[in-house]
Structure 1
Amino acid sequence: MARTPEQINARAATLRDNYSKTIAAIDNDTSLSDLGKQQRLAETYLDTRKELTALRRELEGEVTAKRNSLEQQLFGLPAPSSADRILSWRDAEDRASTLDTVEHAEALMQRALRGSDRILANAVAGKAWSIAGGIQTEAAREWGIRVLDPWLATRPEAEDLLRDLLDITDVSNSTKVATNFAFNIAKPRLLATTSDVQLMQLAEGVTTP
C-alpha cells in the first residue's frame, strides 16, 4: 500500500534524527580508531542518504500521480469515450493550447458553456489552471475569476476535486523547497571534505580519505 506524503515526511524526519544520534555515538566511541570511526561514519552517511533519496523520489511520485489523476478528472475527457469524442477532445485541447490572453480564454469558455460543450470547457479550464493554479499573482487571479469560476459554476461536483488539486499543488511546491532540508543530510564533521568516491571506499574498507 502506498504511503501518504505525511507518512513519507515522517519517515524522513525519523531517519534524520536517527542519523544525528548515530553520528554522535560514533564520534564519542573511544573503542574505535580514527580509521574505524571514519569507516562507520561513511557507511552511516551513505546508507542514510540512499534511503532519503528513495523517500524523496517516492514522495515526488505520489504527488505527481495524485496531481495527474485529479487533473484528468477535472479537465480530461469524460468517460466513456467514443472515437468521435476522442477526436473532439484532441481538437479542444489544440484550441485551448493556443490561448494566450485571458480575454480569448474567457470568450472561448463562454462559447463552450453556451453550447454545453463540456469537452471544450474542460480543455479551456485546464489551460486556465496551468496558468492560474497555485500561483498568487494578479494575472493568475484574472484567469481564475474570468475563466475558471464560470466553468466551476456549471460543475459544482468539481469543487472538492479542485480543492484537492490546490492542496496537492501546495504539497508539490513545498516539497521542492523542503527537499533542501527534509531529504538531505550533512556529511559527518570528520568527513566534511571527503569525496563520494572516497566515502564509498571507506564504507567498503578499501582505503582511507
Structure 2
Amino acid sequence: MSLDQFTATITSLRDKASATHTAFSNRVTQIRNDPNLSPAGKQAAIRDLYDQHAPGLEQLAAEEKRTVAGKQNELRRAVFGLAPTDSNEIMKFRDAQDRADTIEDERTAQTVLERAILSSDTTLAAAVLERAQSLAWGDVVATYSAAYPDKATYLGELEEINSFADNIQQNFIGGLTYHLAMPSEIATGYART
C-alpha cells in the first residue's frame, strides 16, 4: 500500500465515522421531536439507536489502528528486513541487532554505521539504523539514507507513518472521530452490553 493509499484509507474510515455520527445525530433529533413517543419511549429508542451505531464506530477505530500498524510493519520490513535465508544469516542478523542494541549514543552509532557501510555489512547497517531510528538520531538516519538511497523513500514514509501514529493531535482527532457521545437521555447509569 502506497502512502497515498494509506492516507486515502484513513480518510475513508474517518469519513464513514463522520457519516455515522451525522446519521445518528439526525435520527436522535427525529426521535426527540416525535410527538407519538413518551419520554420512556424516546429513551428506549435512543438507547437502541446508540447500541446500533457505537459498535460500528468501534470497528472503524480498530480498522484504523490495524491499517496504521500494517503500514508501519510493511515499511519496517522494507527498511530493516533483510529476509535471512539460512540459519547463518539469521544468526548474523540477530548478532547485528544485539550489537546495535548496546550502542548508547549517536556518535558511536555514527561510527559503527560508517564502518558497516565501508565494509558492505548491510546487516549491521540495518541494525544500527533500526536503533538510530528508534532513538531519533537524525544524523545516523541521514547517513544511512545517503548510503542506501533505495531505502530512503521507505524510511521517509516510515517516519511519516510513525509521526502520524505518535501525533497527539491526530490521536485526539481519531479518538473523537470514533467516539459516539451518549445523548443526555441515556447518559446517566447506562452501560452498553
After TM superposition, is the score higher than 0.5? Answer: yes
State the distance in 1 between where 2:36 and 2:16 align.
Answer: 31
State the distance in 1 between where 2:104 and 2:23 align.
Answer: 51
The 5 Å alignment of 1:152-191 reads: 152-174=145-167, 175-191=170-186
Q: 2:32 aligns with which of 23, 27, 32?
A: 27
**In the TM superposition, what is the alpha-carbon distance from 1:114 to its structure 2 partner?**
1.4
Does 1:194 find its partner at 2:171? Answer: no
Contact 2:146 2:152 in 1 (8 A): no
Contact 2:79 2:154 in 1 (8 A): yes
Instruction: Tell me what 1:151 maps to.
Output: 144
Does 1:107 find its partner at 2:111? Answer: yes
Letter in 2 for 1:72: R
State the distance in 2 between where 1:49 and 1:100 align.
Answer: 46
Report % sequence identity: 30
Deviations along 1:100-152, whole A, 9 cap, x unmatched?
Answer: 211221121112111110010001101111121xxxxxxxxxx112x111111
State the distance in 2 between where 1:27 and 1:125 align.
Answer: 58
Letter in 1 for 2:150: E
Letter in 1 for 2:25: S
State the distance in 2 between where 1:17 and 1:173 align.
Answer: 28
Does 1:125 find its partner at 2:119? Answer: no
Two-structure CA RMSD over aligned residues (Å): 1.8
State the distance in 1 between where 2:166 and 2:28 align.
Answer: 31
Q: 1:93 aligns with which of 74, 82, 97?
A: 97
Contact 2:97 2:124 in 1 (8 A): yes
Structure 1 stretches of 5 or more lacking a match?
133-142, 201-209
SS at match of 2:185: helix
Contact 1:16 1:185 in 2 (8 A): yes
| Count of matched residue pairs | 185
Contact 2:84 2:90 in 1 (8 A): no
Deviations along 1:174-205, whole A, 9 cap, x unmatched?
Answer: 45222331110211121221320xx55xxxxx
Instruction: Tell me what 2:3 maps to.
Output: none
State the distance in 2 between where 1:124 and 1:131 align.
Answer: 11
State the distance in 2 between where 1:39 and 1:94 align.
Answer: 59
Q: 1:72 aligns with which of 61, 77, 86?
A: 77
SS at match of 2:55: helix
SS at match of 1:190: coil
State the distance in 2 between where 1:88 and 1:63 align.
Answer: 30
Letter in 2 for 1:66: K
Give the TM-score normalised by structure 1.
Answer: 0.82
Structure 2 stretches of 5 or more lacking a match?
1-5
SS at match of 2:135: helix
SS at match of 2:103: coil
**In the TM superposition, what is the alpha-carbon distance from 1:8 to its structure 2 partner?**
0.9
